[in-house]
Structure 1
Amino acid sequence: MYDLSRSAPSEAATGVFNAQLGDYIRLDESDLLCVLRGREHAARYFSTFIVNELEGRTPSAWCLRRNDPNPLAKRACQIAFEAITFELLRDINGIISHRTSDPLYAMSDAEAMQTREGVPEDSTPTMRTCEICRAEFSSAVLVAKEDFWRKLPLWFGVDVPKWG
């Protein structure tokens, strides 16, 4: 059901065309409502993650750049968190343009943005924090993803013995 919830709601409602039958295979109404309800819970969880873990996030108390004499370098970790927040919010708005929504992937991507290669060595990457700030944020991402995973059956109205 989580996989279905990552598609556009109209796609989940329309179903999948089966060429052999010449018709669409659709979820029954109660399953479709569970998919849509679960999707809403997942989206709400993700927006709360952005607010709690990224929006206005300050660098670690042990940030390696905290005492840098260069004012821009001193704010590099703060700027990186702001840039990551912007990228995630921009991607969320992609739902309107029929891109899929996957909060688990997006949380992982927020963490991965801090370590992507391809940035010239002599520049300060806009989405790269120092190692200490990255490690603290990585811990927050891990906790959020585990919590998200544990809640999936409840959100989608599915009983899964020994889940998570």
Structure 2
Amino acid sequence: MDVRDTAIPAVKLLIPRRFPDQRGWFTESYNRRALRAAGIEIDFVQDNQSYSAQKGTIRGLHFQRPPAAQDKLVRVLRGAILDVAVDLRSGSPTYGRHVSVRLDAESGHQLLVPIGFAHGFCTLEPDTEVAYKVSDHYAPDQDGGLIWNDPDLGIAWPVTPEEALLSEKDKILPRLAELSSPF
């Protein structure tokens, strides 16, 4: 597995090797030993999966506050997304900045979003399925988030506010300027 830094080095792009043959291909989508060899020691405790029927579905930007904060390892099983991580670590030189990466089923690339980042994505194709591992269990009382289209974040989303499909919860999240970071 190839582990690469992104523009914010704490966020990593993981590129698993694929072994093709006449039937298709095989890959190890997760290998704790390989990640530890790359200096990543995370104990994942839960796997999540989402399905989005429509292109332009936005999920996020979400995080969980300590003591239930979560690292996330995100991959696409079907379709494609623009995956986004926003740095919320107080005192970080990249606080308020983001990384955005296209993830798709075809490439198999994954994004490691560490604790201290808000995470979200926009589907680029209909019928998109996303799977992600998390390092702590879901804790609804520790839920937090940022509004997806906060102009202060400068995220180049591939949809307009009129085109975006959001949950009612995600429509009312605060802007970065209104957030007291728990990290």
TM (norm. structure 2) is 0.19
Is the strand fraction higher in 1 or 2?
2
TM (norm. structure 1) is 0.20
Rg comparison, structure with higher value: 1
Is the helix fraction higher in 1 or 2?
1
